[in-house]
Structure 1
Amino acid sequence: MHGKKDNAVEKKLGEGVVKDLTENIKVNPSRKSLPMLKSDKEMKRGDYDWATSNTGLSVMKWKDKRSVHPLSNFHDPTQTTEVTRKEKDGNEIKVSCPIGLSGYNANMNCVDKFDQLEGVYETDRKSRKWWHRIFWYFIDATMVNASIIHKETKLPKMTLKDFRREITRDLVAPALVASRGKKRSLNSHLQFNKKKPNVPKSVRLESSSHQPGRSTRRCAACSSKKQQICTDWMCSVRKVPLCLGKRKTCFQDYHAS
């Protein structure tokens, strides 16, 4: 188990997990069934030896300061390249190196680089459902990988931030266009204003004295002998009882006529 040891947070968690998972598959040169390659005494810096299995697995041994034993089912063990090394006196020299090992050295930091890029604009969201975090991680991983591929093309270069913005615009644009077109077709004859209504002072104060007041008598507009309707409101100037409510417009109708 990883994560905590003796109630303390474990450091280098990723490294520990990888080491535990690969404990049983470490490349031991003396392991049974591995071919016998040149001994360290027979090799100088830059020398290498190799052998292949009938399944296409290559076993290599390269002498640097120490012997390195890589395995590969992808690289041709006969192909070599050159790497730069420093001597004790500070001078740099070129030494031969299997191409499989140079490829490993060139890309061994890609995981760290990927984690760095993935964490810059992380789309992580707290959730009670554990799989939500995995889902958002896959989205971020896809974004990072796509941006790396984009840099390898002849298209104009852009930062990861701008690349994510462009992807987001492309994903939401069709939905926005469709929704906006639908709203325009339904409400093309309407004009909405989210601000507070701006009524001129001359209009707002016109007949301002005719304000609703309290009353307990029958409405002068809608009440009759057959159906008597009392109201709680009346015109404060004319002292006329008038209905005022969601479904009653007696007050407005009385002053409009």
Structure 2
Amino acid sequence: MAEKAYKRSLRRRPIPTRFRKEYVSEISSDSGEEASYDSDDDVFTPDDSDWSGDQASSDDCFEEYDCEDEMVVLEDDDKEEAEEVEEESEVTPFGLGSEGFDGHSYNITGRMVPTRGGGQAAMVRLERAAELRKWRPMDEESSFKVHKFKGPAPGYKGMFGARTKSIDYFDIFFNHTILQLIVNQTNLYFTQSNPGTTFVELTIEELQAFFGMVIMISTKGVRVLRHIWSKLPYFHDKALASIMTRRRFFWISRNLHFNDNTHMPKDPNPDRLYKLRPILDHMKAAYQRHYNLSKHIAIDEAMVKFKGRHSGKQYDPSKPTKRGFKVWTLADSMTGYVYNFNVYMGRFGNPDNRDLGFRVVKGLITHNLHHCYHRLYCDRFFTSVPLLKDLKRIGMYCCGTVQHDRQGLPTEIVNLKYSANDMPRGESHLSKHKDGFCSYAWKDRKLIYFLSSAHSGDLPLTAVIRTIDQKGNRGEVPCPQACYDYNMYMGGVDRADQLRSYYCVDRKSRRWHMRLFWHIFDTTVTNAYIIHKEWQFRNKVPPTSLIMFRYYLAEQLMGDFSSRQRVGRPAAALSMRVNASHEHVIVDLRTEGFIIKRRCQVCLRNILRHETYFGCAQCDNVPLCNNSVRQCFENFHKNSAN
């Protein structure tokens, strides 16, 4: 009834001037001649000739527009009702008698539903109405087939060969090139921030040891990093503290950088991710270069916690992480491998006039996924009729929940919301689109809507396990195959988030790009673990747990490195030189292999904090002040003699 009332209201609205030609759907003549428009008497007449009369005046009235599919023609069962409405209202089918809204007469024999307004808005309404006419009820036969998956074999692309260690799979992504870039940019950043200051430059070996310490710290669950170097026995971690000093660890953490700030463009709309751009580009290319996705993939969002100030920070009260950066992610539904991602930095240009969900999906689907007929699963934020059409055009199927008020959904499916309370649990309704996809409505606790091009159009029912009564008893509830597949394969991104959250290395930071970097670092470790598990499965090796994989990875990254080691003269030669002269001589300890300042032992006894590069070579290189204010060198040896 609501649909018929809507048609009645449309029938009384005038036709836009520029669309008069399009509203001629058929001519009553049996000869099948086309209609022509005579500008002299402004009457449509069947004629074999082209448009006649004053061409300029006709061009001013309308533009040519092919609307073969956009005609909204009344069905035969609605004609009798339309005639009754015309007799009651005493108007023509367009509600204007024999004259149009501009005073001219129109000989229109087609039975069509006009739309109000003109210009672009009228064209949009015509397209929407034509789209609705493409839906067919469930009982009508429609044949569209779903192609089999034609992509390459899923999994790691390269040859495993001798890759047996955890670090071998980590090096796939964090290779020598990206490590060298981080080292160069970190040293450059400190030089730019502290001009004229001498410092010990970061090296690749030291950076790898730093990453290993970070992974090991996350595995142990240390909340306060300073406790690693604490003198309290239950806080102190001798193994980690022996790798580098606390001062050096925090120096690297504070100066870690990835791009040159002096080359940042001064454009009105700059790249908001400029500080991370080399890391983002490298990692996305590495993720896609070394792995083939399986048949089922999923797109969802991930939140990176950040409470500082930044224009790209998002707020979503429905998420566990309510404030932070939103990362759109494409992942494998079977393994959780992250294949592609984009960091959302807020609104940006919308040249194709599509909604955000459409643009996000198109931005994540790379060219090498075209025509492989993957099954993509996404939630109602992304799913829409234009998206399914566009994905099917490039050889990809889509299945997902959809909002009931999305444009393009069939009326018979949308109107089920008014009778949802009367529907039994497990009831399903289906409507088919002639372009090769379906719309489902399934009643669980509430009515849920689906759009799917990954299913052939029939309604095979399967079952899901649900709580069926107030006593907590569980049983089977019938549901469409599209619903079952959605519940089965939608969790690819959630699986990746789950693996990453177990031993997250993310640390609180005022620098926004560091929060995103540690998120990418965690994702990289998780992807390496997934590939490592695949190698174990192929070689029938017992699988390694995630915590042990991270432990071995941290151990292999740290290796035997220690910035506390002497890098100068061997200890045996030093002892021979010291023993040869039995005098206490103050020396610069940097020549003896100590590359950082150490606390003076005399000042430490006096509860003072002074650091120095100098010390006594004969007294086991003990650090001692040597200046005109504090004579710690002399005082130390006087006290020792006494």
| Structure with higher RCO (Cα < 8 A, 6+ apart) | 2
With normalisation by structure 2, the TM-score equals: 0.23
Structure 1 length as normaliser, TM-score?
0.48
